[in-house]
Amino acid sequence: MGAAEIIFIIIALFTMIGALMTVLSGSLIYAMMGLISTLFGVAGLYIYLNAPFLAMMQILIYVGAVSILIAFAIMLAGPFTMKPKEWTTVTKFIGSIVVSVVSFVLVFRAIMQTPWVQGKIKNFNVTTKDLGRIFLDRLAFPFEIISLLIVIAIIGAIMLALFSRRQG
């Protein structure tokens, strides 16, 4: 096993541990921290795949912006009335395990039975500068729409927080 495989395994383990932390955590803050580490792990996988632009976009958009929005939502929503242990039953837990195992088996079988074709990849020389020009010249409007959507989401979270505090 070479150094590249060891680096991949370390990044994949980091990503999976963060995902497990997200799913299994009893606290929303710890779940958010697990999500952030998972998103960093995905960015690491992009770097491993020699896609630095995607890695930087992953860090800027998901680790930066989306994680901040989730943090604001957690802070503004306040404490929940029911803890996860109060609404989780043994039947739901066993059902989720069964669904997870069946889904994994189906996806694994589909991957193993697919006749993968290996072909030659054409030389694709597009730099990050070229991508930036395309995004900001041709795709400026979608960027503005996304920023407007984020502002609307923040305003909505603040309004929900103010409304719930007036009633409580």
Tens of pLDDT along 151-166? 887 788 777 777 766 6
User: What is the rounded distance in angstroms from the CA atom of residue 95 to the CA atom of residue 17?
Assistant: 23
Q: DSSP assignment, residue 120? A: P
At 55, list the tokens.
């890695």
> What pTM was estimated for this model as a whole?
0.61
Residue 51 three-state SS:
coil
Q: Which fold has domain 1-79?
A: Four Helix Bundle (Hemerythrin (Met), subunit A) (1.20.120)
**Would you state the torsion angle of the CA atoms of residues 108, 57, 120, 117, taken in this order, to the nearest 10 degrees?**
20
Nearest to 157 by CA among 76, 71, 65: 76
pLDDT digit string, tens, across residues 96-141: 889 999 999 999 999 999 988 877 777 777 787 887 888 788 888 8
Residue 153 three-state SS:
helix
Biggest distance spanned by C-alpha atoms of the chain = 63
Q: Per-domain residue ranges for the chain?
A: 1-79, 82-112, 127-168
